[in-house]
Amino acid sequence: MEYRRVKDQESYDDLSQKDVESLSGRSLSSVNATGLSSAGGAKGKSNWKLKSVVTLALTLLTSSQAILIVWSKRAGKYEYSVTTANFSVEALKCLLSLAALFRTWNRHGVTDDNRLTTSFDEVSVYPIPAILYMVKNLLQYYIFAYVDAPAYQILKNLNIISTGVLYRIILKKKLSAIQWAAFILLCAGCTTAQLNPSSDHVLQTPIQGWMMAIVMALLSGFAGVYTEAIIKKRPSRNINVQNFWLYIFGVIFNLVAICVQDYDAVMNKGFFHGYSFITVLMILNHALSGIAVSMVMKYADNIVKVYSTSVAMLLTAVVSVFLFNFHLSLAFFLGSTVVSVSVYLHSVGKLQPQK
Name the minimum Å distance from CB 325 to a second copy. Answer: 15
Residue selected from 195, 214, 256, 284 as contacting a second copy according to rule CB under 8 A: 195
Does the footprint of a second copy cover residue 154 (CB under 8 A)? Answer: yes
Does the footprint of a second copy cover residue 197 (CB under 8 A)? Answer: yes
Residue selected from 63, 64, 137, 191 as contacting a second copy according to rule CB under 8 A: 191
184: amino acid identity, one letter = I
* Residue closer to a second copy, measured from CB, 191 or 240: 191
**CA nearest neighbour of 90 among 275, 244, 221, 279:** 244
Name the minimum Å distance from CB 157 to a second copy. Answer: 10
Does the footprint of a second copy cover residue 199 (CB under 8 A)? Answer: yes
Residue selected from 145, 344, 350, 351 as contacting a second copy according to rule CB under 8 A: 344
Does the footprint of a second copy cover residue 153 (CB under 8 A)? Answer: no
Measure the CA–CA gap between 46 and 58, rounded to whole angstroms: 18
Of the candidate spans 14-22, 105-113, 193-201, 310-318, the one that interacts with a second copy by CB under 8 A turns out to be 193-201
Of the candidate spans 39-47, 59-67, 173-181, 268-276, the one that interacts with a second copy by CB under 8 A turns out to be 173-181
* Residue closer to a second copy, measured from CB, 114 or 342: 342
x/- map, 109-148, a second copy, by CB under 8 A: ----------------------------------------
Q: Which residues 6+ apart lie within 8 Å of 273 measured at CB?
A: 79, 80, 81, 265, 266
Measure the CA–CA gap between 28 and 133, rounded to whole angstroms: 18
Does the footprint of a second copy cover residue 341 (CB under 8 A)? Answer: yes
- Give the DSSP H or E segment for 318: helix 302-324
Does the footprint of a second copy cover residue 306 (CB under 8 A)? Answer: no
Does the footprint of a second copy cover residue 98 (CB under 8 A)? Answer: no
Identify the three-state secondary structure at position 126.
Answer: coil
Name the minimum Å distance from CB 176 to a second copy. Answer: 10
Q: For 257, list phi and psi in degrees, rounded to 5.
A: -60, -40
Name the minimum Å distance from CB 67 to a second copy. Answer: 23
Residue selected from 33, 203, 207, 267 as contacting a second copy according to rule CB under 8 A: 203
**CA nearest neighbour of 131 among 18, 257, 251:** 18
Is the CB of residue 231 less than 8 Å from the CB of residue 297? yes
Does the footprint of a second copy cover residue 32 (CB under 8 A)? Answer: no
Measure the CA–CA gap between 274 and 272, rounded to whole angstroms: 6
* Residue closer to a second copy, measured from CB, 123 or 178: 178
Does the footprint of a second copy cover residue 350 (CB under 8 A)? Answer: no
Measure the CA–CA gap between 4 and 273, rounded to whole angstroms: 19
* Residue closer to a second copy, measured from CB, 33 or 177: 177
Measure the CA–CA gap between 89 and 87, rounded to whole angstroms: 5
Residue selected from 50, 116, 188, 214 as contacting a second copy according to rule CB under 8 A: 188
Q: For 113, list phi and psi in degrees, rounded to 5.
A: -80, -25
Neighbours of 175 (CB within 10 A): 18
Name the minimum Å distance from CB 80 to a second copy. Answer: 37
Is the CB of residue 61 less than 8 Å from the CB of residue 289? yes
Is the CB of residue 281 less than 8 Å from the CB of residue 3? no
Measure the CA–CA gap between 136 and 13, rounded to whole angstroms: 9
Q: Length of the chain, please?
A: 355
| Residue 352 DSSP code | P
Does the footprint of a second copy cover residue 149 (CB under 8 A)? Answer: no
The footprint of a second copy on this chain (CB under 8 A) covers a number of residues equal to 29
Binding residues for a second copy (CB under 8 A): 154, 177-178, 181, 184-185, 188-189, 191-192, 195, 197, 199-200, 202-203, 328-331, 333-335, 337-338, 341, 344-345, 348
